Amino acid sequence: DQQVKQNSPSLSVQEGRISILNCDYTNSMFDYFLWYKKYPAEGPTFLISISSIKDKNEDGRFTVFLNKSAKHLSLHIVPSQPGDSAVYFCAASGHSGTYKYIFGTGTRLKVLA
Partner 1 sequence: DAGVIQSPRHEVTEMGQEVTLRCKPISGHDYLFWYRQTMMRGLELLIYFNNNVPIDDSGMPEDRFSAKMPNASFSTLKIQPSEPRDSAVYFCASSARLGDGGNEQFFGPGTRLTVL
Which residues make up the interface to partner 1 (CB under 8 A)? 2, 6, 32, 34, 36, 41-46, 49, 89, 91, 93, 96-106
Within a 10 A sphere around the Cβ of 103, how many other Cβ atoms?
A: 17
Q: Which of 6, 4, 55, 51 is nearest to 25 (CA)?
A: 4
Shortest reach from residue 74's CB to partner 1, in Å? 18
Helix (H, G, I), strand (E, B) or coil at 86: strand
Shortest reach from residue 32's CB to partner 1, in Å? 7
Shortest reach from residue 44's CB to partner 1, in Å? 5
3/41 Cα distance (integer angstroms): 26
Contact 22, 104 (CB under 8 A): no
Whose Cβ is closer to partner 1: residue 84's or residue 106's?
Answer: 106
Whose Cβ is closer to partner 1: residue 19's or residue 35's?
Answer: 35
Whose Cβ is closer to partner 1: residue 70's or residue 99's?
Answer: 99
Shortest reach from residue 73's CB to partner 1, in Å? 16
- CA of 24: how far to CAs of 3, 37, 45, 84, 106, in Å? 8, 17, 20, 22, 12
Whose Cβ is closer to partner 1: residue 14's or residue 27's?
Answer: 27
